[in-house]
Structure 1
Amino acid sequence: MVERSTSATTVTLLPGHSENSSADGDALDSAMPDYDGKSLDAWFVADAVTDLPDDLETVREMRKHLPEYDEGLRQYRLANEIELSFSTPDGRTLVEPSVALETNADERPSYVGVEGEPGEENVVRDIIERDDLDWFDGKDKLPADVSNKRFESDAVREEVDGVEGVRASVVFGGTDTYIEIMREKFYELGPVEFLETTGMDVEAVPAFVVQPPTMYTFLELAAMADGTTLARAWDASPYPKHYLYVDERKRDETEFEEGSRLSGGEWRQNENANERFGQWALEEQDLRTPFSPHTRAGYEQYVDHASSFGPFPAMAHGEDGDELTASDVASELPPLFPW
């Protein structure tokens, strides 16, 4: 009897440099647009790193330390994980009772941290410290909002050229809890009263407050009895940056590098706007997200159509087995939607 096991994890990073101004950092030095120093990059702290290590365990242990917080904060936004295992007596069939599927559904979400150094313009911190508003319960860090943003499949039996296997998929995402609360207040008060209450400039209430976009990945993992494995992130939000780890090692990543935006929408230091952020915010309005107000069938049609000619899957890594190749498995297995 041979035991087979494999895992795949996507990690979502909001890139940035040090935002600790008291230690020669720059409060507006992340991939968030700052809108002339009056919005996102002035409100929140990013992950204070522009790339992640090859080893996933090191990523899990990384923390950023800022003077306004009494604890280190995780240096990534989201992690989406699948682990599959089973037994095979012959490298072609699997023992049904041995099939096991695990995800990180119980992992606590990362904190959204509010920028807090003195002398910096920050509407969110002003609201936190006001006695007449209790929008954020006086908290300068809140867990990301991941409610109703996780869909998981079961471990589904598959067969490719007579070789049995299993696969599973998870769509997982999250949003900024402060922005979600501001959205509720925006619709509750109306645009005019919202602006008057917060003192926010009208240009600082764009689409990302009216309809907060979701960071997410659509991750799928297949394992065959002959040892073939295939991990695919079928889809990922265009903002920010995502990595694919397979068996705890970094194997692929999406394009999101510091540099000239003219070569593909990348971010650069202290930018007023960010092309990828704008694309991401607009995506929430149509069928290109599993969390849009449209039907799941609409999202399925979008992914099926896009994957037939576009850059899909967004990330992938496979290992050949004794009889099959990862390419064989990829060609036989279309996206497994987890609902």
Structure 2
Amino acid sequence: MVERSTSATTVTLLPGRNENSSEGGDPLNSAMPDYYGKSLDAWFVADAVTDLPDDLQAVREMRKQLPEYDEGLRQYRLANQIDLSFATPDGRTVVDSSLSYDTNADEKPSYVVVEGEKSEDNVVRDIIERDDLDWFGGQDKLRATVERFESDAVTEVVDGVEGVRASVIYGGTDTYIEIMREKFYELGPVEFLETTGMDAAVVPAFIVEPPTMYTFLELALLADGTTLARVWDASPYPKHYLYVEERKRDETEFEEGSRPDGGEWRTNEDMNERFGQWVLEEQGLETPFSPHTRAGYEQSIEYAAAATDAYPTMAYGEDGAELTASSVASALPPLFPW
């Protein structure tokens, strides 16, 4: 009897560097757009790192230390994970009773952390500290909101070799932005602006319809040892990594910023093109969180996967004794977890 096991994890990073002015940092030193110092990058803290290590365990242990908080905060936004294992007597069949399938459904979301330094212009912190408003419960860090966690697992047979495949769609939003969206519709645009003192130019689409950071992760394990991890879809913003069996195997492209004067690290003084794409896609069929039917999302992914080389967004596979990862990929279309 042979034991087979594998795992795949996506990690979502919001790149940034030192944002603490008192330590010589730049309060707008992240890949968030800031609308000329009046919006996201001025409101929240990014992950204080511009890349992640090759070892997933090192990622889990990383913490950003901020002078305004008494605990280290993890340096990623979202982790989406699948673990598969089973026993096989012959490298071709699966012992059904041995099958194990796990996800990180019980992991608490990361914190959304408000910029803490008093000298900086920050509408969110102003609201937190006001006596006449209790929108955020006086909290300067809140767990992100989980918008969807859906998973499924099925048995498969590829060229006579049995296996198992699982997929998870997991995503969430900024809780502060979600609360502001509720207040925007409750109060109306005019009263919302008057209440917050926010500039009309910096109440853009991301408050009217908050976008979702997400990944659609799939993992297949065959009895002959073939493994295949595919990220069929991921939010255009921010940056995502694929780890297979705890090692970094792939990552998405990401533009750090759009500062006109360039430089190694370019602060977003206005907009980030990828951020804009991310906000706008919430209105269409391109995301599992859009207000449309699941069939519409399935069709958009299946069509794009067949017509372009843009899907899957990330992938990694290892050949087994009989099958290749590419042959398994050809035989198995996307597994939607609903």
Q: Give yes or no for TM over 0.5.
A: yes
Query: Would you say 1:239 and 2:230 are equivalent positions?
Result: no
Report the equivalent of 2:302.
Answer: 304
Q: State the 1:268 CA deviation.
A: 2.6
Query: Would you say 1:323 and 2:286 are equivalent positions?
Result: no
Report the equivalent of 2:225.
Answer: 227
Across the aligned residues of Structure 1 and Structure 2, the Cα RMSD in angstroms comes to 1.4
Per the alignment, do residues 27 and 259 of structure 1 end up closer, same or farther by CA in structure 2, a change over 3 Å counting?
closer
Report the equivalent of 2:216.
Answer: 218
1:73-104 CA deviation, whole Å, 9 max, x = no partner? 11000000000000000000010111110000
Q: State the 1:269 CA deviation.
A: 2.0
Partners of 2:257 and 2:250 in 1: how far apart?
20
1:251-288 CA deviation, whole Å, 9 max, x = no partner? 000001447689xxx98324311000000000000100
Report the equivalent of 2:117.
Answer: 117
SS in 2 for 1:149: strand
Equivalences for residues 111-190 of structure 1 within 5 A: 111-146=111-146, 148-153=147-152, 155-190=153-188
Partners of 1:194 and 1:224 in 2: how far apart?
55
Query: Would you say 1:255 and 2:262 are equivalent positions?
Result: no
> For the Cα contact (< 8 Å) 2:258–2:269, is it kept in 1?
no
1:9-41 CA deviation, whole Å, 9 max, x = no partner? 000000011111111111001010010100000
Unmatched 5+ residue regions in structure 1? none
Partners of 1:207 and 1:258 in 2: how far apart?
21
Report the equivalent of 1:54.
Answer: 54
Unmatched 5+ residue regions in structure 2? none
Partners of 1:175 and 1:308 in 2: how far apart?
30
SS in 1 for 2:176: helix
Report the equivalent of 2:195.
Answer: 197
Report the equivalent of 1:338.
Answer: 337
Partners of 1:40 and 1:191 in 2: how far apart?
19
Partners of 2:5 and 2:252 in 1: how far apart?
26
Per the alignment, do residues 195 and 112 of structure 1 end up closer, same or farther by CA in structure 2, a change over 3 Å counting?
same
> For the Cα contact (< 8 Å) 1:256–1:267, is it kept in 2?
no
Amino acid at match of 1:332: A
Amino acid at match of 1:299: Y
Amino acid at match of 2:225: G
> For the Cα contact (< 8 Å) 1:31–1:267, is it kept in 2?
no
> For the Cα contact (< 8 Å) 2:35–2:270, is it kept in 1?
yes
> For the Cα contact (< 8 Å) 1:34–1:41, is it kept in 2?
yes
> For the Cα contact (< 8 Å) 2:7–2:219, is it kept in 1?
yes
Q: How many residues align?
A: 334
SS in 1 for 2:307: coil
SS in 1 for 2:145: coil
Amino acid at match of 1:160: V
Report the equivalent of 2:76.
Answer: 76
Amino acid at match of 2:216: F
Q: State the 1:175 CA deviation.
A: 0.3
Amino acid at match of 1:230: L
Q: State the 1:308 CA deviation.
A: 1.1
> For the Cα contact (< 8 Å) 2:259–2:267, is it kept in 1?
no
SS in 1 for 2:215: strand
Report the equivalent of 1:107.
Answer: 107
> For the Cα contact (< 8 Å) 1:165–1:225, is it kept in 2?
yes
Partners of 2:225 and 2:251 in 1: how far apart?
24
Partners of 1:22 and 1:67 in 2: how far apart?
9
Identity level (%): 79
Q: Output the TM-score relative to the length of structure 1.
A: 0.97
SS in 2 for 1:171: strand
SS in 2 for 1:132: coil
Partners of 2:122 and 2:35 in 1: how far apart?
12
Per the alignment, do residues 226 and 261 of structure 1 end up closer, same or farther by CA in structure 2, a change over 3 Å counting?
farther
Query: Would you say 1:44 and 2:8 are equivalent positions?
Result: no
